[in-house]
Every structure is written in C-alpha cells, then in structure tokens.
C-alpha cells in the first residue's frame, strides 16, 4: 500500500492553517476530495477531524462514504470513523482492508508524526497564494537539521493561483 501525504502550504512554505481570515481555497478542498475519493479513505488527526465535523454540522458530509481513520491516543469510539492509536496502526487498518493507497489528510502534528517515522511514499503539496506569519511547519525531524531529497513527479496549476507539486519520497 502506498501512503500519500496531502497538505496545503502557504507561499512562504508554512503549513497553511484555515481560519475565518484564511479559509481554504475551493480548488484545494476539491483536490483533497478528489484524492480521498480515489483512495477510498483518509487518515486524519483528532483535532482536524473535530473541526471538519463542526464544519459539516456533525454529519458525514462529502466524505460519508469513505473509510475515515482518526488518529488519537485517547479518543473513544467515533461514529462514522475508525480510531487508531498511532500512525502505524492507521496504516495497518487500511492495509488489511485491501486499499492500494492511504491518503494522510492532516493536520500538522499528525503529518509530522508520519514524516518523522518515515511512513510516507508520496507528497502532494498545494501551494496557496498567501503569505503567513507565525505558523506550523512540516518537518522530518524536530530535533536535528536534516535533509532528505525527494523526486519531483509533477507540477500542475489548480486554478486561483494554487499550484500543486507532487513528489516521491524514497524510504
Ligand atoms: N494545510 C493543510 O493541508 C491542513 C489540513 C487540515 C488541517 N490543517 C490545519 O491543521 C491544524 C490542526 O492540526 P493540529 O496539529 O492542531 O492537530 P491534528 O494533527 O489534526 O491532530 C492532533 C491530534 O492527533 C493525535 N495524534 C497526533 N500525532 C499522534 C501520534 N503520533 N499518535 C497518536 N495520536 C496522534 C492526537 O490526538 P489526541 O489528543 O486525541 O490523542 C493529537 O492531539 C489546524 O490549524 C488546521 O487548520 C491544515
């Protein structure tokens, strides 16, 4: 099973946070929905999942038909989703269900856990035309300066100034 980490970045390379002042671009949201539908699933951090539920009024919204895995160390059962205690447990669950791809859909803390544990095969970064002040970063190592080369597979404009970069990560 191939793991694909999907994220929207700001033009200055931060991990974009959505807020009333900086709502996500429709092009980026549509792109996430496209990839989630193609994978049949997505993995999400507990905090991001809760904000998605708030935005959908608590229902399944456009993702109701998908296998949603919420990663949390403490959450109990969540209706409409499967709870995994770690990134690896989330992948094991999707792997045993026979999926070809696992889409890792956010947020910053969970993305960094997947990156730090070397569990990512591909990256899809949508760069939004916005500069951010204080914010989150995506990191492969929180303690040390370290670099890892990635292979650029594709670059594609999505409209409204959003540019998608698709990379392969060697494990
Ligand atoms: N740029 C983008 O593409 C994008 C997409 C979506 C969201 N966002 C932004 O991301 C932000 C939310 O991200 P966040 O970092 O606050 O939260 P998050 O990553 O969505 O969720 C964090 C929670 O996930 C669980 N978790 C994380 N790592 C774990 C691990 N290694 N093992 C077990 N559980 C783990 C923990 O849940 P428990 O506390 O329950 O144990 C943790 O509190 C928001 O600002 C949102 O706007 C950005």
Residue 56's pLDDT band, with cuts at 50, 70 and 90, is: low
Which strands make up the sheet holding 150-159, listed edge to edge? 82-84, 67-71, 41-45, 101-104, 2-10, 122-128, 162-169, 150-159
Range of the domain at 123: 2-169
Name 84's Cβ contacts closer than 8 Å, sequence gap at least 6.
43, 69, 70, 71, 72, 90, 92, 93
Count of structural domains within the chain? 1
What's 161's domain CATH number? 3.40.430.10
Per-residue pLDDT at 64: 81
Using CB distances shorter than 6 Å, the residues near ligand 1 are 7-8, 15-18, 45-48, 71-75, 85-87, 106-110, 113
Query: Whose alpha carbon is nearest atom 3 of ligand 1?
Result: 7
Rounded to the nearest whole angstrom, what is the distance from the C-alpha of residue 143 to the centroid of ligand 1? 19
pLDDT of residue 63: 86
- What's the average model confidence in pLDDT over 91-103? 98
pTM: 0.96
Nearest alpha carbon, ligand 1 atom 37 = 72
What mean pLDDT is predicted for residues 50-78? 84
């Amino acid at each position: 099973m191939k793991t694909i980490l999907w994220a929207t970045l700001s033009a200055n390379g931060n991990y974009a946070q959505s807020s009333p002042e900086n709502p996500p671009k429709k092009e980026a949201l549509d792109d996430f929905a496209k990839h989630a539908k193609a994978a049949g699933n997505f993995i999400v951090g507990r905090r991001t999942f809760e904000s998605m539920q708030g935005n959908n009024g608590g229902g399944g919204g456009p993702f109701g038909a998908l296998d949603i895995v919420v990663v949390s160390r403490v959450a109990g059962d969540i209706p409409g989703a499967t709870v995994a205690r770690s990134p690896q447990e989330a992948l094991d669950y999707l792997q045993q269900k026979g999926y070809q791809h696992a889409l890792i859909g956010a947020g910053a803390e969970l993305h960094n856990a997947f990156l730090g544990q070397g569990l990512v095969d591909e990256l899809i970064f949508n760069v939004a035309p916005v500069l951010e002040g204080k914010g989150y970063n995506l990191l492969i190592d929180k303690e040390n300066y370290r670099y890892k080369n990635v292979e650029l597979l594709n670059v594609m404009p999505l409209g409204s100034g959003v540019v998608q970069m698709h990379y392969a990560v060697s494990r």
